[in-house]
Each structure stands twice: as structure tokens, then as C-alpha cells.
Amino acid sequence: MLSINIMLSNEKIEMKCPSCQKTLSYSVDQLQKGQSTRCPHCGNEIRFEESNPGAVGRLEEKTKQSLEDIDKKITMTIRE
């Protein structure tokens, strides 16, 4: 099974700039803790930090577990 990081790394997340409130689109890879970027609209630096320490790791583990358990949640049948 693919790593959750690989599977979600290109997923897009929309967030508002905390300064100008313009909607920005980032990939999960771009939102790594401690990374920063500049808003293309107002030019202010945006730094990505976890607002709830450990929350991202817990969400990642929960998502990984759900994907691993998907075969237990789906029933396949044959139509004749």
C-alpha cells in the first residue's frame, strides 16, 4: 500500500491568507510544519504551524487506518 504521504501529497487545500483574506490554494506538501511562503496578493509571509500540536499526525494515522480497513467496509458481488 502506498504511503499516506505519497497518496495525499498533491491534494489541494484552500485557505485564506491571514492578512488579506484572499483564498489561496496549496498542496499538502506545501503545508509542511515550519514551511513558509508569500501571499501572491499582499506579499506578506505566511508560516505554516500546527494550531493543535500533534493533530496532523493523529489525522494522518486515522486516515491511514481507514484506508487499510477499506476492504472490510466494502462488499463485492458478481452480477450474472
Report helix, strand or coil for 60.
Answer: helix
Report helix, strand or coil for 39.
Answer: coil
Q: Are 37 and 30 in contact (CB under 8 A)?
A: yes
Q: Across residues 61-80, what is the average pLDDT?
A: 80
What pLDDT shows up at residue 20? 95
Q: Where are the domains of the chain?
A: 8-73
Report helix, strand or coil for 79.
Answer: coil
pLDDT tops 70 at residue 64: yes
Q: What is the pLDDT of residues 9-56, one digit of tens each?
A: 777 888 899 999 999 998 877 777 678 889 999 999 998 877 776 777
Q: CA 77, CA 67: separation in Å to the nearest integer? A: 20
8-73: in CATH 2.20.28: yes
